[in-house]
A and B are shown apart, each in its own frame.
Chain A
Amino acid sequence: MIQALGILGALIRGVWITARHFLVNLFFHTLQLFGIKTKRKGAVTIQYPEKKKELAARHRSLHRLLKREDGKPRCVACMLCVTVCPSECIVVEAAEDPDPEVQKTAARFDIDLTRCCFCGFCVEACPEDAIRMDTGVIDISALSRADLQYGLDKLLK
């Protein structure tokens, strides 16, 4: 009997909590509807495409390739990122660089974003700091798979 009353009490408390959330949120929504600014909002939702949340400094977004001072890509085609990538989605083809100091450069650098899992290992592996994931671009979407194959042209932008 006492247990049953306890259960009943817990049930009522549960409904009370949700009803309180409902009424309080409704109150703040109504205030906002009439243009009254309150510090507390009715919902914690961020209405994404219109309002954007600030990304954390270490957020991993779309990749980019960095350039040297002379404008050529920093990448020396060492294949470390290709090796470490768990999704095996980077393809690098090496070519000879006229600069004897550099020796090698990437003739082709493709990332298949349909397979990338944004783990950031490629950034960690790169000895030349040639690839970074700090563009802040997170709305990466396309209507065809081919549009998600990012090559040198797109990555160097």
Chain B
Amino acid sequence: MSPFLLVLIKVVVALAWFMILTLYLTWAERKESALMQDRVGANRASIFGLRFFGLFQPIADAIKMFFKEDFVPPFANRFLHTLAPFLSFFFVAVNVAAVPFGPTLAAAGRPLVLQILDIDAGLIFVLALLSLGIYGVLLSGWASNNRFTLLGSVRGAAQLISYEAALALSLVGLILVFPSLRLSDIVAYQGGTLLGFLPRWGVFLQPLGFVVFFIAVFAETKRVPFDLPEGESEIIGFFAEYGGLKWGLFMFTDFMEILIVSCLVSTLFFGGWQVPWLGDAGVHFPWGADWHWPAWLIAAARILAFQIKVFFFCWLQILIRWTYPRLRYDRLMELGWKILIPLSLLNIVGTAVLVSL
């Protein structure tokens, strides 16, 4: 098979998988928030009377959005107004390319990398794309030519830029600890154990870095404790002038961002596809016992482990989103500039000292 075709297949499969997951993340969000609030959640959408816990709801929503009017306000900049949702979706969706889904498989004698693009600066690539997402926010608010959306997007830009700094700085410690910026190398490095029993995951090497990174990246997703750009309940946000499919695209981007963030957190801090104590030959228990597994089982367990980690972090993000109220604007800035950035600097200094010892 030509390498080009292989990449094409990988792109299609990975994107399709992420699309499906994103679609059902909206379902998961509804159901999880309902369970947290002692409700039932969407359960009415049915096909031939089959309801399946509302699993058809995302499809019904998509159809609904499809048939809504595609309205561009007469005072808006038509081109940019249309471009903005696609731009923000693009910058999030491209991140899929850098996600290492699993270990390198040996398929038909040749190595099969379960990653679309194994760039040697993968970490920087992801960070750059995450910060480019700001263009969607700014353009949509500005092109709508409406004061409220403009204010929303300016708020959003300020928030995203503030947390960008903490986000990048919190990863410097990780770069000091891990020998590479290549995401597959980072995952491979997290395979061993610390002190004989702890899996050598980023979270145990960089606990402070993890906390700062998680908060900052949560702010990047623009979800509730940090939802100043949107503020759907009272302060109007940047996509107030959108409707139908374009609005749907913004929502889809938001949910995909959750997924990407989960992938990033599990790749960088929770060992990616590594299963604790599972080496290339089988499970090696901390008390010295060995349990041999066949190669296919190890590969399957690793691919599954990555998905489970991603699901867990999606769950956690939804949980957090439905627990906390929104931060006030000055508190948000305070948290970003006065708490997270000093903490990440402290983390860098501490890590540097420990690494050089």
Contact present for B320 and A43 (CB under 8 Å): no
User: With A and B bound together, what is the CA distance between A45 and B37 in angstroms?
Assistant: 10
Per-position 1/0 for B29-45, Cβ under 8 A of A: 00010111111100000
Contact present for B38 and A25 (CB under 8 Å): yes
Contact present for A15 and B36 (CB under 8 Å): no
For chain B residues 247-288, which have a beta carbon within 8 Å of chain A? none
Shortest Cβ distance from B225 into A: residue:
A11
User: With A and B bound together, what is the CA distance between A22 and B38 in angstroms?
Assistant: 8
- Report if B193 contacts A (CB, 8 A): no
Contact present for B324 and A43 (CB under 8 Å): no
Contact present for B36 and A18 (CB under 8 Å): yes
Contact present for A18 and B39 (CB under 8 Å): no
- Residues on the B chain within 8 Å of A21, using CB: 35-38
Contact present for B319 and A22 (CB under 8 Å): yes
- Report if B322 contacts A (CB, 8 A): yes
- Report if A146 contacts B (CB, 8 A): no
Per-position 1/0 for A11-23, Cβ under 8 A of B: 1001101110110
- Residues on the B chain within 8 Å of A17, using CB: 323
For chain A residues 72-117, which have a beta carbon within 8 Å of chain B? none
Contact present for B36 and A22 (CB under 8 Å): yes
With A11-B324, A14-B324 already in contact, the answer to whether A43 and B34 are too (CB < 8 A) is yes
Q: How far is the CB of A37 from chain B (nearest CB, A)?
A: 18
Contact present for B36 and A43 (CB under 8 Å): no
Shortest Cβ distance from B323 into A: residue:
A18
Shortest Cβ distance from A4 into B: residue:
B339
User: With A and B bound together, what is the CA distance between A23 and B319 in angstroms?
Assistant: 11
| Contact residue among A15, A29, A42 (Cβ-Cβ distance under 8 Å from B319) | A15
Instruction: Other than A17-B323, A22-B32, give 18 A-B pairs with Cβ distance below 8 A.
Output: A11-B324, A15-B320, A15-B323, A18-B319, A18-B322, A21-B35, A22-B35, A22-B319, A25-B35, A25-B38, A26-B35, A29-B35, A42-B35, A42-B40, A43-B34, A43-B38, A43-B39, A47-B40
| Chain A residues proximal to chain B, CB less than 8 Å | 11, 14-15, 17-19, 21-22, 25-26, 29, 42-45, 47
A-B contact pairs, 6 of them (CB 8 A): A15-B319, A18-B322, A22-B35, A42-B40, A45-B39, A45-B40
